[in-house]
Amino acid sequence: MSYDELADLYALQYEDYSGDLDFYARLASRHGGPVLELGAGQGRVAAHLARRGTEVWALEPSAAMRRRGEASTRGLPVRWIAGDMRDFELNRHFPLVIAPFNALMHLYTLTDQNATLERVASHLNTGGVFAFDLYNPLQIKADGALRLEGRYGRIEVYYRQEHHPASQRLTTYYVIDEAGPDGVLKRRHNRLDQRYFTRYEIERWLAGAGLVGRVAGGFQGQPFSEKSPLMAWTARRVS
Ligand SMILES: C[S@@+](CC[C@H](N)C(=O)[O-])C[C@H]1O[C@@H](n2cnc3c(N)ncnc32)[C@H](O)[C@@H]1O
């Protein structure tokens, strides 16, 4: 799916999200750059790493997301690339490849997942690390109710989530209400589709491509459990 229509909403919702920044910055200082970021969005993580002196190659397919990313990283060592994580060739290896904030949930089929991991492995140094974070599917609480997500000035965002366990999919429907200066309500609708992964599904997926994965239940290395909000993965390419 394309983020072109979600780009302005994404900026309102997540511009200030910072829970994962230290995790990726620690990995970048341990492994060095350049770092390849898959699904770099509007440059939230790329800008953080680049401000700390790490060069980032930011791969992002959505033109609207990339435009915002280019603006937010102007003057920083970030190289933006229009591309798809399932099918890219950069003709170099990286010590660290990252896919922050559920970016891999846009891989909807086994073919998409395997193609991406094959591309990641072939761009990683031997001993290099692939790091990513994903929802913990055991924490999904999609009850179908329409809820307020947030208020951003004159804009109110509501959302409703549907969980489809048999296809491991989560669909989020957004209703975006904005009162114009004349008081007239403008209502927009958006939809976000995500495919979630289970813990051992990921371990086996990584092992199939020669990577050894370790999962934590948070960005400070907390043990993973059914109560963890997310899975923070680091996977080393061993062959
Ligand atoms: C949830 S956002 C995360 C953005 C950014 N990593 C962050 O942490 O703020 C997911 C991003 O993945 C991108 N994306 C979706 N499908 C993709 C694909 N096949 N290849 C590369 N990126 C993709 C979207 O366009 C979107 O910018």
Name the residue at shortest CA distance from atom 27 of ligand 1: 41
Tell me which residue range forms the domain holding 175.
Answer: 141-195
pLDDT value of residue 177 = 96
Same domain, 123 and 24: yes
Sequence-separated (6 or more) residues with CB below 8 Å from residue 207: 213
Same domain, 159 and 44: no
**Token pair in block for residue 29:** 């200082």
Q: What amino acid occupies position 154?
A: R
Same domain, 54 and 119: yes
Q: Domain containing 112 — which CATH number? A: 3.40.50.150
Same domain, 66 and 80: yes
Same domain, 97 and 175: no
Average pLDDT, stretch 172-179? 94
Q: How confident is the model at residue 200 (pLDDT cuts 50, 70, 90)?
A: very high
Q: What is the DSSP string of 7-72?
A: HHHHHHHHTT--TTHHHHHHHHHHH-SPEEEES-TTSHHHHHHHHTT--EEEEE--HHHHHHHHHH
**Is the pTM for the entire model greater than 0.75?**
yes
Q: How far is the CA of 92 from the centre of ligand 1 (A)?
A: 21
Q: How far is the CA of 183 from the centre of ligand 1 (A)?
A: 34
Instruction: Identify the weakest region by mean pLDDT among 4-18, 56-70, 225-239.
Output: 4-18
pLDDT digits (tens, 9 = 90+) for 15-74: 899 999 999 999 999 999 999 999 999 999 999 999 999 999 999 999 999 999 999 999
Task: Tell whether ligand 1 has an atom less than 6 A from the beta carbon of residue 86.
Answer: yes
Asked if residue 35 lies in contact with residue 48, where contact means CB atoms within 8 angstroms, the answer is: no
Q: What atom in ligand 1 is closest to the CA of residue 20?
A: 8
Q: Is the pLDDT of residue 1 over 80?
A: no
pLDDT digits (tens, 9 = 90+) for 32-43: 999 999 999 999
How far, CA to CA in Å, does 209 sit from each of 78, 178, 201, 233?
28, 47, 13, 15
Same domain, 170 and 215: no
Q: Domain containing 171 — which CATH number? A: 2.20.25.110
Q: What atom in ligand 1 is closest to the CA of residue 65?
A: 27
Task: Tell whether ligand 1 has an atom less than 6 A from the beta carbon of residue 203.
Answer: no
pLDDT digits (tens, 9 = 90+) for 111-156: 999 999 999 999 999 999 999 999 999 999 888 899 999 999 899 9
Task: Count structural domains, the chain.
Answer: 2
Same domain, 81 and 159: no
Q: How far is CA 159 from the centre of its chain?
A: 19
Q: What atom in ligand 1 is closest to the CA of residue 3?
A: 25
Same domain, 109 and 147: no
Task: Tell whether ligand 1 has an atom less than 6 A from the beta carbon of residue 171.
Answer: no
Pocket test residue of 5, 106, 120 for ligand 1, highest count of atoms within 8 A of CB: 106
pLDDT digits (tens, 9 = 90+) for 102-118: 999 999 999 999 999 99
Residue 153 C-beta-side C-alpha neighbours within 13 Å: 7
Q: How confident is the model at residue 3 (pLDDT cuts 50, 70, 90)?
A: very high
